[in-house]
Amino acid sequence: MPSEAKIKDFMISMSDYPTISINKTLGQAVKIMSNMAKEKGYRWVIVLDESGRLAGFLTMRNVFECINDLIPELSDWMAIYTKAQLIKHTTLDQCIHPLVNISVQESDHPVKAADMILKHRVTILPVLNEHSEVVGIIRPVDIMQFIDKLFND
């Protein structure tokens, strides 16, 4: 029943989503992202700090922005090839945006996640358990499953 729905029923568990250490390089992250985009359609990678806690998310857009920021004088993408060796060794701490301090609880209703996604204009939200540990993520596409159930109940 939709009124009893919980975010944990629709989220992606941390163990099911690709992660990478903040100390790894852009080249390593792009390799993971490229493979996961082909295999599962994932467009992000979860970035963890030295303690294994959530540091942020690296999106495809972040990758493009990082390349542009590192070599702003290049006007065409073909010229990037000559600088690729320098760019690919950039550590992820220089590429991810600071983590937005918003999250939802796995026991929250999916409508709360949808509301936060709209209000904060984000496309991925960390999901916390009762101990405030990140246990998963929820995206608009995951909430669509809830909406589908709502429409078909």
Number of compact structural domains in the chain: 1
| 7-16 mean pLDDT | 93
Query: Do 66 and 94 touch, CB atoms closer than 8 A?
Result: yes
> In which residue are the tokens 């409508």 written?
111
SS3 44: strand
- Of the candidates 50, 41, 143, 36, the one whose C-alpha atom is nearest the C-alpha of residue 92 is 50
15 pLDDT exceeds 70? yes
pTM of the model: 0.79
Residue 77: the pLDDT is 62
Residue 52: the pLDDT is 83
- Residue 66's CATH number: 3.10.580.10
What pLDDT digit, counting tens, does each position of 60-97 carry? Answer: 888 888 887 776 665 566 666 767 777 888 899 988 87
What pLDDT digit, counting tens, does each position of 97-131 carry? Answer: 777 789 999 999 999 999 999 999 888 899 999 99
| Lookup: tokens for 95 | 């590429």
Per the structure, the complete domain to which residue 84 belongs is given by 2-152
Residues 61 and 117: their CA atoms lie apart, in Å, by 18
